[in-house]
Chain A
Amino acid sequence: MIDFIQNSVDGIMIGSRYALLAIGFTLIFGVMRRLNLSYGPSIMIGVFVGTFIFIEFKAGWMAVAAATLVGAVIAGIYVERLCFWAIRQGAALASMVSSFAIWMQLEEFVTLSFPDRTYPFPPLTGDVPLKIAGISIQLSYLVMFAMATTLMLALNLALYRTRFGLAVRAVSENPVAARFMGINTSRVIFFAFVVASALGGFAGFLIAANEQQVTPLFGLWATFKGLIAMMLGGMGSVPGAILGGFLLGVIERQATWYLGAEFRDLVAYGLLFVFLAFRPGGLLGQRLAERERLALRRV
């Protein structure tokens, strides 16, 4: 029993990384209704910019964090302009495939510029194990958990209390109606992308700092974990992204413990598949799924 609880706690902690990744993913999806397969890779660009200035200039973690964020945002803007803004409405598949093509482009760009298998990254807190109520928790993971929940709250606040947040929600719900209100949908999408990239960059920084290293496999990994977490929690839902991330972390941890590491991803995908078959809206997006289904039917 204690194992189960420890695993669950570990899982939630690990899941914080996924939650952080999923927030940005879901924000973009919510506002555009398209999958950005370049999300992970654009974060990876940021992370490698971070490692670059760490190596070249021996910069401290704050500078590295800033560099990571800026790198991720620039890469995100590149993707948004090329794959999404430039492709007209209605050609959603073309956008997704385009984002896939750019994914490969960015990934190769990184492996060309950084040919080694791994590069160092400054730690944020180092490996400091804590013990709370008999359960052991890594400090760095606790930091991520705190960041994930804080960001979620901040984002929720922004979405529900600000004028821009209202615009984002309007565009997410119904882009055509939003335009009738005078809302400039492409500008809203652009800024949502910037915010999502910044969030992703921040997530990337925390994850890399936790690992104290970066590898070119980061892009693929980040995209998939973010995607699964987002789907489990409900596409387009920010609290859903957090919950989905935690759920994924717990599932992975329990699967690894009870079945072995080889089965970890298999169980995760299996869970995703089951969700998609029976509860596509994820944990929180039930009504969203219903609306998607209705929206896909032409009236």
Chain B
Amino acid sequence: MLEVRDIVTAYGKIEALKGVTLSAKENQITCLLGPNGAGKTTLMMTITGILRPRAGSIRFHGDEIAGAPAPQVVKRGIALVPENRLVFADMTVQENLAAGAYLRARDKAGVAEDLERMLTRFPRLRERSTQAAGTLSGGEQQMLAVARALMTRPDLLLMDEPSLGLAPLIVDEIFEIIAELNNDGTSIFLVEQNAHKALEVAHRFYLIEQGKVTFEGTPGDVAEDEVIQRAYLGSGAV
């Protein structure tokens, strides 16, 4: 569904992505692991069109989208739940969701329907639907960010470190939601540092280090790979 090939993205003279190749399959959860600064967020930004790659190709449903601006990428069906949530703090929960549906605002009936569905699926958001998003807890904001992205009715949901800064119990909840969404048919491309939780839900793994993909495999492969075990799963003698 999503094919990323030899993507090179740079900030000035520094190449953050030095030729990244990976793919995300339909109806699966694909997970990208990697340390800080490896280029995970840069890759997300490149796919969603916030950053333009210097070279390489990104194909979504067969169409080339590398270099396309963000509004277009969103129109094609890719939505991002950004790192650090980035909810609109001064807007209410409902307004945040409405913002998510910005591009579909003409379809008032559809949007209203989706709004209802989101509030039903995330009852905590319904409770707080008229509250300012900035007053929500970390976990609730994460839920809001996910719901907001879902309002675009994406074919592919990108999630950038959804567990960041959240308490373990909340993280469990979030990953339950991720699994649920996937069961209901949403394809997910997940970027995570929390490899343990990711192993519970993802179907396919990539490891990115210093701007290049250094590992590709199934959860089973991950369990067997020593490097990942030691670096990200904390097992093995030091």
A positions within 8 Å CB-CB of B: 163, 166-167, 169-170, 173-174, 176-184, 287, 291, 299
Contacts and interface: CB of A to CB of B under 8 A. Distances in A.
A174 B80 contact: no
Pick the 7 closest A-B CB pairs, nearest first: A182-B74, A177-B86, A182-B103, A179-B70, A182-B71, A173-B88, A163-B105
Contact of A177 (B69, B75, B87, B90): B87
A179 B49 CA distance: 9
B88 A169 contact: yes
Given A166-B98, A170-B99, A180 B87 contact: no
Contacts, number: 65
B84 A299 contact: yes
Given A166-B95, A173-B88, A173-B91, A180 B105 contact: no
A180 B91 contact: no
Contacts of A169: 88, 90-91, 95
Interface of B: 48-50, 69-71, 74-75, 79-80, 82, 84, 86-91, 95, 98-100, 102-103, 105, 148-149, 152
B102 A163 contact: yes
A180 B74 CA distance: 7
A287 B48 CA distance: 31
Contacts of A183: 71, 99, 102
Contacts of A184: 69, 71
A176 B99 CA distance: 13
Nearest to B80: A180
A167 B102 contact: yes
30 contacts: A163-B102, A166-B98, A166-B99, A166-B102, A169-B88, A169-B90, A169-B95, A170-B88, A170-B91, A170-B102, A176-B86, A177-B82, A179-B49, A179-B50, A179-B71, A180-B48, A180-B70, A180-B79, A180-B86, A180-B149, A181-B99, A181-B102, A181-B103, A181-B148, A182-B71, A183-B71, A183-B99, A184-B69, A287-B90, A291-B89
A81 B192 CA distance: 40
